[in-house]
Amino acid sequence: MKKILLILSIFILSFSKSFAVSKEPVIEASFDAESAYIGDIIKYTVKAHLPDAAYLAVNKNIIFKNFETVNVYADGISGKPNDYVIIFELAAYKTGVLDLEPVGIAYVNTDGNKRMFFTPQTEILINSLLGENAEDIKDIKSLKKISMNPAYSAGIALVLIILIALIVLLIKDIRKNVKEETVIIDPQVQALIDLDDLLGSGIIKNGEPRVFYYRTAEILRTYISKKYGFNAMEMTSTELLKKLENIVFISLTRKDIKEYFKIFDLARYAGFKPSESSMIDSLEKTKEFIRKL
């Protein structure tokens, strides 16, 4: 009887152990290559056989030390209701033989409680792009994929458009309000400069009296127009003289003005041929007239 009880106890214990084992997931894992270069996308595949009626609940934000998790895929294996495959796309940011440490993956068992199994520890050789002993690119993280909500992207774009529009309006307003700086030369100073330029032009030496007196009269009339605010360019000598009579002068008399303008009337005639010294004298008298006017 004691022997029967002992055999029965051993059988029950063995059955309990086998039942307990059957309730735990069976896990396999492997890389798609034995080695890779830093920054390469490596596929780490985990196959899990779960207890009956259990299902996978993968957290896609799993972090591996020395690796960037680029993407995570999980799916059931066709024809095997309790078998799942999880594929991690990883990129190493360190060189050497790297250990991929175990991470926990959640699943829900038959009684509805969440449980967890761990991936097996494995290793892979990560080569440097610069050679076997390169140290300069170690510990450099790969670029991380950035996802952005479309509404958030549209909001940022709208803010940028408004900001650019405001900057454009601000620039236009500044340009509108900024007055261009112009150099204003006194009419008298400008007239005297123009007369000196006329003297240096060679017209007098070339014996061109009609051109000389025309330019001298033009310089004088331009000066009077700017100084007194009326158009002296279109007036005859008589009209201009009458206009100037209404202006009070300190150093000039009507006789002075009339005598001065006489020379311009004479210059109209073809027979008028003043000497070089006479033309220079007329230019100096014009300067004196401008200074007094």
Q: Which domains does the chain have, with CATH numbers?
A: 23-127 (2.60.120.570), 187-292 (no CATH)
CB-based contact 137:95 (threshold 8 Å):
yes
Q: What is the pLDDT of residue 1?
A: 56
How, if at all, do strands 114-118 and 80-92 pair?
unpaired
Q: Is 164 exposed, middle or buried (0-12, 13-18, 19+ CB in 10 A)?
A: exposed
pTM of the model: 0.40
Q: Taking residues 265-278, what's their average pLDDT?
A: 77
Helix pair 276-292, 209-228: axis angle to 10 deg: 0
DSSP 191-212: HHHHHHHHHHTTTTTTT-HHHH
pLDDT at 245 over 50: yes
Residue 20: how many CA atoms within 13 Å on its side-chain side?
Answer: 6
d(CA 280, CA 272): 15
- Residue 266 and residue 212: Cα distance in Å, rounded? 13
pLDDT at 112: 79
With 90 as the cut, is the pLDDT of residue 196 above it? yes
Residue with tokens 């009209």: 239
User: What confidence tens digit (pLDDT) does each residue in 114-162 have?
Assistant: 888 889 988 999 998 776 655 544 455 544 445 556 777 788 888 999 9
Confidence of residue 270 (pLDDT cuts 50, 70, 90): low
What are the C-alpha distances in Å from 268 to residues 5, 31, 56, 263, 274?
153, 108, 113, 9, 12
Summarize the confidence of residues 67-77 as an average pLDDT. 88
pLDDT in tens, 1-60: 555 655 655 655 554 444 444 468 899 999 998 899 888 999 999 998 888 888 887 777
Mean pLDDT, rounded, for 81-94: 89
Q: Would you say 84 and 48 are in contact if contact means Cβ atoms under 8 Å apart?
A: yes
Enter the tokens of residue 10: 């051993």
pLDDT > 90: what percent of the chain? 17
Q: What does pLDDT average to over the chain?
A: 80
